[in-house]
Amino acid sequence: MPDAIETGLASAAKGGGAIGQVRIRQTSDGQFALSHCEDELTTELRIFARPEDAIEIARYDDAGNYRPLKTAPNLRRGWRLNVTNMSGVRDAMDYFYPGRLAAFGAWKQNQLITTTLRETLNRQSGMYRVAAKISDEQIDDLVGSFCKSNGGCLRTILWKRDSNGAAPSTKLLAEKYDPSFDQTGRDRPIIPLICQEACGLLVNECRKAVKAESDG
């Protein structure tokens, strides 16, 4: 029996849906074609045929810069990845967006565990320990700029700022916390890229904000 992930992928494939910036389409021969969602009308695409080719496609942006955050809205364009079956689609998506299908599956089954930002910061060690000193106001600004979908990150945030349930940032639109919303703004059927816990890049930004304040 297909699980929640496979069911979600199959319905996305039939309905012109996407995960982040990757569009999934079932082809007439029952196979699957993955491509950048802005390349729907592009005819000159470089063709790939192995799920693991997604690693290379996702590594650099269009300008050739390394992409440290795989859910940033800067996936390069100009390619199509042909995959023969659903298992290949899952593998490819795990390379494009590591860990996101598993988070989606857990969320669908009400088993997703989220961690507040304060908890994530409080458990840091070494040079990152100082990040816990960040103020709520600094978090509000930082998360509002670093995590925003337009130019920051396409994940839907499900963690809270602290154990009181405060929103991560008042500067993000309500849709940033809504898994049914297409964070690319294209309003397609989507499998959301869920953020259940602050990533290491945001933790590092918190550290830098605290350091900047104490150095300045």
Site residues (vs ligand SF4, CB under 6 A): 71, 146-147, 153, 155, 157, 195, 198-199, 201-202
Q: Nearest distance from residue 186's CB to ligand SF4, in Å?
A: 18
Nearer to ligand SF4, 101 or 198 (CB): 198
Nearer to ligand SF4, 53 or 197 (CB): 197
Nearer to ligand SF4, 34 or 143 (CB): 143
Residue 65 Ramachandran class (φ > 0 left, ψ -120 to 50 alpha, else beta): beta
Identify any residues that bridge with 48 across adjacent strands, giving them in sequence order.
81
Distance in angstroms (rounded) separating the CA atoms of residues 33 and 29? 11
Name, in order, each residue with C-beta under 8 angstroms of 11's C-beta and a sequence gap of 6 or more.
Answer: 17, 189
Question: In this structure, what token pair is assigned to residue 90?
Answer: 């899952």
Nearer to ligand SF4, 83 or 143 (CB): 143
Distance in angstroms (rounded) separating the CA atoms of residues 4 and 36? 24
Q: Between β-strands 22-26 and 32-36, what pairing exists: parallel, antiparallel or unpaired?
A: antiparallel
Q: Nearest distance from residue 179's CB to ligand SF4, in Å?
A: 13
Kindly write down the DSSP assignment for every residue of 14-28, as one continuous string. HTT-EETTEEEEE-T
Q: Nearest distance from residue 199's CB to ligand SF4, in Å?
A: 3
Q: Nearest distance from residue 201's CB to ligand SF4, in Å?
A: 6
